Structure 1
Amino acid sequence: MREIVLDTETTGLDPREGHRLVELAAVELRGRMPTGATLHLHFNPGRPMPPEAERVHGLSDAFLADKPPFAACADEILAFLGDSPIVAHNARFDWQFLNAELVAAGRPPIPEERLVDTLDLARARLPGAKHSLDALCQRFGIDLSRRVKHGAMIDTELLARVYVELTGGRQMGFDLEPGLLEAAVAPPPGPARTWPVRHFEVPEAERLRHRAFVAQMANPLWAALEAAPAAVDGREGVS
């Protein structure tokens, strides 16, 4: 199944107050495994960046000045998202901003039913624990050393790993379609193969060194095997 892990950065907390998206990142998963397909965009919000928001994500007015407006990228974003489920942490925050931008650009909004909220998953699986992205990364042993500031791309990559852990761990990436595993381990058609017994000559000097070594041990297993070599898987002459 194809899923998109997504994160955004904004100028503030509420699009109804005129705040805008300034960054969007998305990572494609198939079968809970990253495919390598990503989308990473910055937007000129057409309004000043509040200092408190810049302190969070580090995106300044100067950096965003030559970036395109969201409307210029809307079709590219919708094409990447397709009709896949959208995985995000506190997903409704990103969803409300994304839909506000899409509607302003004359594009259809994304239905809420497509959201998969990792915050809800974490609360259900880990009641009483801390559920921030940092806390979940620490819980699952995911390296946070690159996360100096909030950034949509690094947060999306980290969230993709957290999502895999929240939904069953790394084994999820090895899920096979029904019947595929059985086919992989089933014996090939036709008569069973047999292999001839192979005999190996051991030089007498090697036998003597081995016996001297075994003689120094208390109740060595090798002594019993050497006395009855035929008992070892029915093979004779093997030491």
Structure 2
Amino acid sequence: MRQIILDTETTGLEPENGHRIIEIGGYEIEQRRPTGRRFHEYLNPDRSVDPEAVEVHGITDQDLMDKPRFADIAARFIDFVTDAELIIHNAPFDVGFLDSEFSRLGAQWGQLADYCRVTDSLALARRRHPGQRNSLDALCRRYAIDNSGRSLHGALLDAEILAEVYLAMTGGQVTLHLGARDNEGPAQPVAGDQAVSADRPRLPVIEPTAEEAAAHAAWLEQLDRDSDGACVWRSLTGEARA
């Protein structure tokens, strides 16, 4: 399962009022492990950045003068997200801005949903923790994830932090360093891994009873509902949904 944790920074809050994307950060994970692939661009929005927005992310007009425009990176962005599941915190905000950017390029570019599936991690957090604060900072505190480097918002940094939060929310994994891969080779073994002798006694296989199998299937159905269909067990074992 290929997933991309995505975040954007913008000139302001409303694309309908001409606000634009000025930074995109994407962080890829597959089967709940980082692949080492990232997408990161600062963009020239051809307009000024609102002072209130600069206070949030620290990106100024001067910073963006020599950066590419969305049209320059749109094809590469589409290649990066196509057929993936995008995990976005408060997804309607980012999707609205991305769809606005595609619309500026012409109807032939379609909309984000034409290329990938989107999951809103904020909606997921609200289901997991109803009545509680579910901002990215609040979730970091809840799941003991270090976000000390986040004095200002930044698209790639926020995407990397959200990846840890999402893994913690959906499976209890709070680190991205087990068997992490980079672009130069396959996954590295976890410290302490040892080869198992081929001469070892075979382990007994205990088949589940009908009741245990039914309880297992019911639990997977619950996981599917809680994770919006992202039950990793089924993707790994090929078990069919009921």
> Shared fold (TM-score greater than 0.5)?
yes
Letter in 1 for 2:167: V
Letter in 2 for 1:89: H
CA deviations 1:51-76 (Å, max 9, x no partner) are 11111111100000000111110001
Q: How far apart are the structure 2 equivalents of 1:153 and 1:36?
A: 13
Letter in 2 for 1:150: H
Shift in alpha-carbon separation, 1:21–1:192, aligned structure 2, 3 A:
closer
Structure 1 unmatched runs, 5+? 175-185, 194-239
Letter in 2 for 1:26: G
Q: How far apart are the structure 1 equivalents of 2:44 and 2:53?
A: 14
Matches within 5 A, 1:34-45: 34-45=34-45
Measure how far apart 1:167 and its partner are: 0.7
The 8 Å contact of residues 31 and 172 in structure 1, kept in 2 or not, is answered as no
2:128 equivalent in structure 1? 125
Shift in alpha-carbon separation, 1:140–1:105, aligned structure 2, 3 A:
same
Q: Which structure is larger by alpha-carbon Rg, 1 or 2?
A: 1
Structure 2 unmatched runs, 5+? 179-195, 203-242
1:134 partnered with 2:137: yes
Q: TM-score, normalised by structure 2?
A: 0.70
Measure how far apart 1:171 and its partner are: 8.5
Q: How far apart are the structure 2 equivalents of 1:90 and 1:151?
A: 15
1:23 equivalent in structure 2? 23
Q: 1:108 aligns with which of 89, 107, 110?
A: 110
Q: TM-score, normalised by structure 1?
A: 0.71
Q: How far apart are the structure 2 equivalents of 1:188 and 1:153?
A: 44
CA deviations 1:167-219 (Å, max 9, x no partner) are 11118988xxxxxxxxxxx9958x969xxxxxxxxxxxxxxxxxxxxxxxxxx
Q: How far apart are the structure 2 equivalents of 1:53 and 1:171?
A: 30
Q: 2:161 aligns with which of 158, 163, 168?
A: 158
Matches within 5 A, 1:1-239: 1-106=1-106, 107-111=109-113, 114-170=117-173
RMSD of aligned alpha carbons: 2.4
The 8 Å contact of residues 165 and 174 in structure 2, kept in 1 or not, is answered as no
Q: How far apart are the structure 2 equivalents of 1:158 and 1:171?
A: 10
Q: More deviation in 100-109 or 27-36?
A: 100-109
Shift in alpha-carbon separation, 1:192–1:50, aligned structure 2, 3 A:
closer
Q: How far apart are the structure 1 equivalents of 2:40 and 2:201?
A: 54
Measure how far apart 1:128 and its partner are: 1.7
Q: How far apart are the structure 2 equivalents of 1:48 and 1:7?
A: 20
Q: More deviation in 20-29 or 107-116?
A: 107-116
Aligned length: 182
The 8 Å contact of residues 145 and 174 in structure 2, kept in 1 or not, is answered as no
The 8 Å contact of residues 102 and 110 in structure 2, kept in 1 or not, is answered as yes
- Higher-RCO chain (CA-CA 8 Å, sequence separation at least 6): 2
